[in-house]
Amino acid sequence: MTASRMNETQIDHILKHNQLSVTDSRKKILELFLSSNGALAHGDIEKKTGEKFDRVTVYRTLQVFMEKGIIHTIPTADNSVRYALCKDDCTEGHHHDNHVHFVCSSCGNTICLEDVTVPDVKLPKGFQPEEFQMVVTGVCRECQ
C-alpha cells in the first residue's frame, strides 16, 4: 500500500465517518488540508486545486466541513478567513481549539503550533467564556 493510497483511504474514511458523500472536490480539498501543516484561506484552496472546481463548490465544501467539525476558522487581524483541520475529537460544529496559531508576517502562512496550548486567563465577573483563541504574529521558522 503506497503512501498516497493510504492517504486516500484515510480521506475516504473521514468523509464517510462524517456522513458525507465522497466526491472529487471534497477528497481533493481534504487532501490539501492534510498535506499542509498550516491553515488555508479560501483563495489558497482555489489556487492549489488549479481551478478544477467551481468557486461555489469550494465555498460549499468549506461550509460543510465547518458544520461537520472537520475544519475550523482561525482569527486573524486582517480580513482574511483561514481554515485549519480540527484535531482529535472535534466532531461537533462547535470547536474548542486549544493551541496557539502563528501568522507569519513575511510569507503570510498560518501555522498551528500544536504543542503550544492557549493559557487560561481570568475574566471579569459576568463574562461566560466558551472559547479561547490566541494568535501570534511574527516571523516563522522558514522566513528567518
- Contacts with DNA, 65-94, as mask; x by CB under 7 A: --------------x-x-------------
Distance CA 106, CA 75 (A): 18
Distance CA 24, CA 3 (A): 19
Residue with cell 462524517: 18
Q: Which is nearer to DNA, 52 or 96 (CB)?
A: 52
| Partner whose binding site includes residue 36, from a copy of itself, DNA, none (CB under 5 to 8 Å by kind) | none
- Member of 40, 74, 85, 86 binding a copy of itself (CB under 8 A): 74
Q: What are the grid coordinates assigned to 87, written together?
A: 484535531
| Partner whose binding site includes residue 132, from a copy of itself, DNA, none (CB under 5 to 8 Å by kind) | a copy of itself
Q: Point out which span in 21-29, 103-111, 123-131, 135-143 binds DNA (CB under 7 A).
A: 21-29
Q: Does 20 bind DNA (CB under 7 A)?
A: yes
Q: How many residues make contact with DNA (CB under 7 A)?
A: 23
Q: Does 50 bind DNA (CB under 7 A)?
A: no
Within 86-125, the residues that bind a copy of itself by CB under 8 A are: 100, 102, 105, 113, 115-116, 118-119, 121-125
Distance CA 115, CA 55 (A): 34
Q: Sheet containing 82-85: give its strands across.
A: 71-74, 82-85, 38-41, 110-117, 99-104
What does the CA dihedral 51, 11, 26, 34 come to, rounded to 10 degrees?
-50
- Member of 24, 43, 75, 91 binding a copy of itself (CB under 8 A): 75
Q: Which of 74, 103, 69, 106 is nearest to 86 (CA)?
A: 69
